[in-house]
């Protein structure tokens, strides 16, 4: 599993447990360290996990209001806990994260993958629908950007020969 994807998985699990245990912010360091040790031993970018968790929690009021607006038929407390926290994390990356590091489409795709891995049968579609609505509302930033020119390792090796 890619390092950033693993970091997002751990962040989502910490947010889920934080939410389940009554949103007690003092639990975050303990939960995060335990989950990093259990699910991501050797994870190099622990700071990314903490930036996702802390960023999401610091914007939680705004994020929850955005969820309620984008999915009015689903009151926040009636959304499955996994889906709710995947949405929170995805919205944080989509709206408040560094777009140079994580383009909007990557934030959406990562959230959909988390929903498919941890949620129910329709979680991926639900997350896609809500985040897609938000993405369109913010004007689809980066929609027409050309993909960055990235060379595969194989191409780099061939060029070195």
Q: What pLDDT digit, counting tens, does each position of 33-62 carry?
A: 999 999 999 898 899 999 999 999 999 999
Domains of the chain, residue spans: 1-51, 61-141
Q: In whole angstroms, what is the distance from residue 36 CA to residue 48 CA?
A: 11
| Average of per-residue pLDDT across 88-97 | 96
- CA–chain centroid gap for 139, Å, is 20
152 C-beta neighbours (distance < 10 Å), count: 8
| CATH T-level assignment (fold) for domain 61-141 | N-utilizing Substance Protein B Homolog; Chain A (1.10.940)
pTM here?
A: 0.85
pLDDT at 153: 44
151 φψ region: left (φ > 0), alpha (ψ -120 to 50), beta (else): beta
Q: What is the pLDDT of residue 147?
A: 53
CB 142 within 8 A of CB 105: yes
63 alpha-carbon distance from chain centroid: 12
Q: What is the mean pLDDT of residues 71-91?
A: 95
């Amino acid at each position: 599993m890619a390092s950033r994807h693993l970091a997002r998985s751990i962040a989502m699990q910490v947010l889920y447990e934080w939410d389940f245990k009554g949103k007690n912010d003092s639990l975050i360091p303990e939960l995060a360290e335990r989950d990093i040790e259990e699910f991501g031993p050797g994870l190099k970018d622990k700071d990314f996990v903490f930036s996702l968790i802390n960023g999401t929690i610091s914007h939680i009021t705004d994020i929850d209001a955005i969820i309620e607006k984008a999915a009015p038929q689903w009151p926040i407390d009636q959304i499955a806990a996994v889906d709710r926290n995947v949405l929170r994390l995805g919205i944080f990356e989509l709206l408040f994260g560094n777009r140079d590091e994580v383009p909007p489409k990557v934030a959406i795709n990562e959230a959909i993958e988390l929903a498919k891995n941890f949620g129910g049968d329709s979680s991926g579609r639900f997350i896609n629908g809500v985040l897609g609505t938000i993405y369109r509302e913010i004007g689809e930033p980066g929609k027409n950007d050309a993909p960055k020119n990235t060379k595969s390792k194989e191409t780099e090796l061939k060029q070195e020969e």
